Chains A and B, each alone.
Chain A
Amino acid sequence: MILRAEGIRKSFGDAEVLRGIDIEVSKGDVVAVLGPSGSGKTTLLRCLNYLEAADAGVMYFSGEHYDMTAISKKEIAGIRKRTGFVFQNFNLFRNKTALENVTEGLVTARKMPKKEAAEKAEATLAKVGMAGWASHYPSELSGGQQQRVAIARAIACDPEIVYFDEPTSALDPELAAEVLSVMRMLAEEGMTMVVVTHAMDFARNVSSRVIFMEHGAVVEAGDTKEFFSSPKEERTRIFLRKSADAGEKMI
């Protein structure tokens, strides 16, 4: 077990976005978080990395227990240094080159010597297929390239877990495919990942576990094969059928 969070609640004003979510992630797991838009998937991910402050919830992460509502800035910083986060719209530092985007956190937050950070960054960029683009600025890269650099930035610090927030939603299918193939490679290497996604093929073929959410609650969670072959909940069956229909219509 690397991460366990229980009873996460979050409201924005009167809107209750998360109504007591539990999530468990073991080392090497690839957890796909599925669900219709507005189900709270992204908010869950943001609460797990403290980009949003949860209203209730406890968390166990990598040997430590935390009260999610009473966590110190220092503890949050400590958690973030051991996690990676990939955003839907990349959020690469616009004033930094691809290489600097990767070295930035290593040098400033982890105090890694510059030379070592640069070597690490070059190796990581090569891994995501961006070796020749180190000196390019984000504005000079395609969306798929930007997202691959963002993934390099997230994994360069050898995180214990990487969160992906709809990493391909802003990309056309071709660019999405190149990002998904990088993610698949990471999964095969045993990287622990939590992926909020609408890419059903990725969930089906790459993830090891699935969490299906709706209206801020978990409808069904379980092993990927079971989830897709014999879903227990009626709501899950409807969701899977509609996703399949939508997939066929696209073809």
Chain B
Amino acid sequence: MSERLFQIITDSFLKILIPGLTVTIPLTLISFFFAMIIALAVALIQFAKVRVLKDIARFYIWVIRGTPLLVQLFVVFYGLPNIGVLIDPFPAAVLVFSINEGAYCAETIRAGLEAVPYGQMEAGECVGMSYMQIMRRILIPQALRISFPALANSIISMTKDTSLAANITVTEMFMATQRIVARTYEPLALYIEVGIIYLVFCTVLTRLQRYGEKKLGRYRI
């Protein structure tokens, strides 16, 4: 390896890592947080079988899962200004990622809820608990426990998908790398470098998943 290339790689490391820590990770965590709220609400709406709301929930999932994430980002960031709605890049990315991931996780959590045996609900009714109490204290915790591996999968996947936010001018890790490439003309080394940093982030998440499963593993579902 030439001395110049080595220099470029070491110099760029922090320039890539810092936007990773200050943009990619917050973007992932904030978006996933809102995605979980959306997902839980949409899953519960479907589970409760309220006709109109359920139709709205199905429509939302149908549209979001049926269109590319990149298109959704472009519609919100470049399209909405046409009708006078201007959103800054970062909040626009959070909005799109939350809504997108929410649709997928809603299905994951719904499957988790449906996997909880009906006897759990009946047992709650028989000790006098209300529907909401049973949902909050018995069914949802079990559904989340069942969904946990799949949800961990989603956040790992999302960490990498945030690189698409570069397309709407969010200076996250990937965009930072692109800029250095444009200056240095070393695409191979630099894109591998950023790839490795994504890999490290995802490895940490995988470890957290294992730890979480171990923690939750005491009651087997």
Kindly state the interface size class of chain A when it binds its partner: 20 to 34
Q: Across the two chains, which residue of chain A brings its CB closest to B130?
A: A77
When A92-B123, A95-B138, A95-B145 are in contact, do A104 and B219 touch as well, CB less than 8 Å? no
- The proximity string for B residues 201-221 relative to A, scoring 1 for CB distances below 8 Å and 0 otherwise, is 000000000000000001111
B219 x A49 contact (CB < 8 A): no
When A77-B128, A80-B128, A93-B138 are in contact, do A108 and B133 touch as well, CB less than 8 Å? yes
Q: Within 8 Å CB of B129, what residues of A?
A: 104-105, 108-109
A49 x B142 contact (CB < 8 A): no
Q: Within 8 Å CB of A139, what residues of B?
A: 219-220
Q: Within 8 Å CB of A89, what residues of B?
A: 119
A104 x B127 contact (CB < 8 A): yes
A93 x B124 contact (CB < 8 A): yes
Q: Is B52 an interface residue (CB 8 A)?
A: no
Which A residues between 91 and 143 are near B, CB-CB below 8 angstroms?
91-96, 104-105, 108-110, 137-139
Q: Within 8 Å CB of A93, what residues of B?
A: 120, 123-124, 138
Which B residues between 110 and 150 are near A, CB-CB below 8 angstroms?
117, 119-120, 122-130, 133, 137-138, 141-142, 145
Q: Within 8 Å CB of A153, what residues of B?
A: 123, 127
Q: Within 8 Å CB of B137, what residues of A?
A: 104, 108
- The proximity string for A residues 68-95 relative to B, scoring 1 for CB distances below 8 Å and 0 otherwise, is 0000000001001101110101011111
B158 to chain A, nearest CB (A): 26
Q: Within 8 Å CB of A49, what residues of B?
A: 126
Bound state CA distance, A51 and B125, in angstroms? 8
Bound state CA distance, A185 and B60, in angstroms? 56
Bound state CA distance, A93 and B133, in angstroms? 13
Q: Is A180 an interface residue (CB 8 A)?
A: no
Q: Within 8 Å CB of B130, what residues of A?
A: 77, 108-109
Which B residues between 54 and 98 are near A, CB-CB below 8 angstroms?
none
Kindly state the interface size class of chain B when it binds its partner: 20 to 34
Q: Within 8 Å CB of B128, what residues of A?
A: 77, 80-81, 105, 108-110, 157
Q: Within 8 Å CB of A108, what residues of B?
A: 128-130, 133, 137
Q: Which of B126, B138, B141, B221 contacts A80 (CB 8 A)?
A: B126
Bound state CA distance, A105 and B127, in angstroms? 5
A181 to chain B, nearest CB (A): 23
B127 x A87 contact (CB < 8 A): no
A86 to chain B, nearest CB (A): 9
Which B residues between 134 and 176 are near A, CB-CB below 8 angstroms?
137-138, 141-142, 145
Bound state CA distance, A89 and B128, in angstroms? 19
A85 x B126 contact (CB < 8 A): yes
Bound state CA distance, A77 and B138, in angstroms? 18
Bound state CA distance, A51 and B123, in angstroms? 10
B127 x A94 contact (CB < 8 A): no
Q: Within 8 Å CB of A85, what residues of B?
A: 123, 126
Q: Within 8 Å CB of B138, what residues of A?
A: 93, 95-96, 104
B129 to chain A, nearest CB (A): 5
21 residue pairs of the A-B complex, CB under 8 angstroms, read: A77-B128, A77-B130, A80-B126, A80-B127, A80-B128, A81-B128, A87-B119, A87-B122, A91-B117, A94-B219, A95-B145, A96-B138, A108-B130, A110-B128, A137-B220, A139-B219, A153-B123, A154-B126, A154-B127, A157-B127, A157-B128
Task: Mark B residues whose CB is within 8 Å of A.
Answer: 117, 119-120, 122-130, 133, 137-138, 141-142, 145, 218-221
